[in-house]
Amino acid sequence: MTPDMPLTVLGLESSCDDTAAAIIRHVPPARAEILSNVVLDQTDLHAAFGGVVPELAARAHAEKLDLAVEAALEQAAVTLDGVDAIAVTAGPGLIGGVLSGVMLAKGLAAATGLPMIGVNHLAGHALTPRLTDGVDFPYLMLLVSGGHCQFLIAHAPDRFTRLGGTIDDAPGEAFDKTAKLLALPQPGGPSVQAQAAGGNAARFALPRPLLDRDDCNMSFSGLKTAVLRTRDSLIAEHGGLRAGDRADLCAGFQQAVADVLVAKSRRALAQYLALEPAMPVFAVAGGVAANTVLRAGLEGLAKRLGVQFIAPPLALCTDNAAMIAWAGLERLRMGACDDMTLAARPRWPLDQTAAPMLGSGKKGAKA
């Protein structure tokens, strides 16, 4: 394969609660074009449980993946004959869902003879700024979602350095749990943000964990506990939560998350710029990157430091298959390809050399 050969790639994503398929076409030197980007989300399926139920997610992926592929092909107006390769998320994530995707990719590859490539889900997020903005390597990336929170230096499609990350909950998880504590709808991010709009962020003193530590690690589980305690003392005092209490608590929580992420981004940027002073680029991805207070904070920080700030459109920040197709395409161009031994990997850190985070358990780092 020549580096500038036109390529059309089908991407599959099923590692959490979105069943997704997409087709992208890349004719160098132009940017890749997203011909279709189908996401069948499972929000309603898990809504009553206050979180993703792995078994329900796996069944829904198994039922819907082929429908997502059909829709992606139809919307892109191509058939499998017009596809050059299949890229599939092979981990990290919920094993049932990842297996559904990998098995479908193997079936399609066996039936069509097309090359297949297993993609790390986090690489999909981390390479998105190259798909959307054509960013050159290297750059610093903050990946902040319901399942992940880490700073990565992207050096190449298959080479990343993790500077740090959360040692417990991901921020999106903390938003979702906070929403649950305050009886707000899921997913928690948008509903907490909406409540926070009318609130006083300074009313409650909520913690900003690990800011005293001179590294890029973060912790969000204490913040969630502080929200619980504050809620309970408000209920004890007033016999229930008043609308203003809820708004102030949401605003305080959101500000605490944003403050921690902005402060740690400053550290990560200092470390990154010491290594790569000639490439001052900072990108963000993941569902929490939709948060307007956080976005404004990160944008302001980048501006003060003279760093280019990139935030892909929301549909490409949250889980999707276009990013998987793109990450697969980048690796294909490097000559990588998988065979029928491709395994689903629930744990698959992008940076295999970084020390596992606290709480990663006996089996090592998840991501």
**Quick one: 69 or 149, whose CB is closer to ligand KG4?**
149
Which region, judged by CB under 5 A, interacts with Zn ion, from 149-157, 217-225, 317-325, 353-361? 317-325
Select the residue interacting with ligand KG4 from 16, 109, 223, 268 (CB under 6 A): 16
CB of 251 to Zn ion, least distance (A): 26
Beta strands at 18-26 and 7-13: parallel, antiparallel or unpaired: antiparallel
Instruction: Report whether 210 contacts 223 (CB < 8 A).
Output: no
* 116-120/85-91 β-pairing: parallel
Binding mask 91-130 for Zn ion (x = CB under 5 A): ----------------------------------------
- Say whether residue 175 binds ligand KG4 (CB under 6 A): yes
Alpha-helical (H) ranges within the chain are: 43-46, 54-76, 95-112, 121-133, 171-181, 188-196, 221-238, 243-275, 292-305, 314-317, 322-333
- Cβ nearer to Zn ion, comparing 92 with 199: 92
When asked if residue 146 is in the footprint of ligand KG4 (CB under 6 A), the reply is yes
- The structure tokens listed for 128 are 């998105």
Does position 291 interact with ligand KG4 (CB under 6 A)? The reply is: yes
Binding to Zn ion by residue 17, rule CB under 5 A?
no
The helix/strand/coil state of 172 is: helix
Does residue number 129 form part of the binding site for ligand KG4 (CB under 6 A)?
A: no
Interface with Zn ion: number of residues (CB under 5 A): 2
Single out the residue of 8, 132, 145, 166 in contact with ligand KG4 (rule: CB under 6 A): 145
Q: Which amino acid is at 261?
A: L
Task: Choose the stretch contacting Zn ion; rule: CB under 5 A; options: 39-47, 141-149, 226-234, 238-246.
Answer: 141-149
Residue 190 interacting with ligand KG4 (CB under 6 A): yes
CB of 257 to ligand KG4, least distance (A): 8
Instruction: Please state whether 252 falls in left (phi above 0), alpha (psi between -120 and 50) or beta.
Output: alpha
Is residue 54 part of the contact set for ligand KG4 (CB under 6 A)?
A: no
Residue 326 interacts with, from Zn ion, ligand KG4, none (CB under 5-8 Å by kind)? none
CA angle 59, 61, 62 (to 5 degrees): 65
Torsion sign across C-alpha atoms 45, 49, 51, 52: negative
Q: What distance in Å separates the CA atoms of residue 209 and residue 218, rounded to the nearest whole number?
A: 7
DSSP category for residue 166: B
Query: Residues in the site for ligand KG4, rule: CB under 6 A?
Result: 16, 145-147, 172, 175-176, 187-190, 193, 286-288, 290-291, 318-319
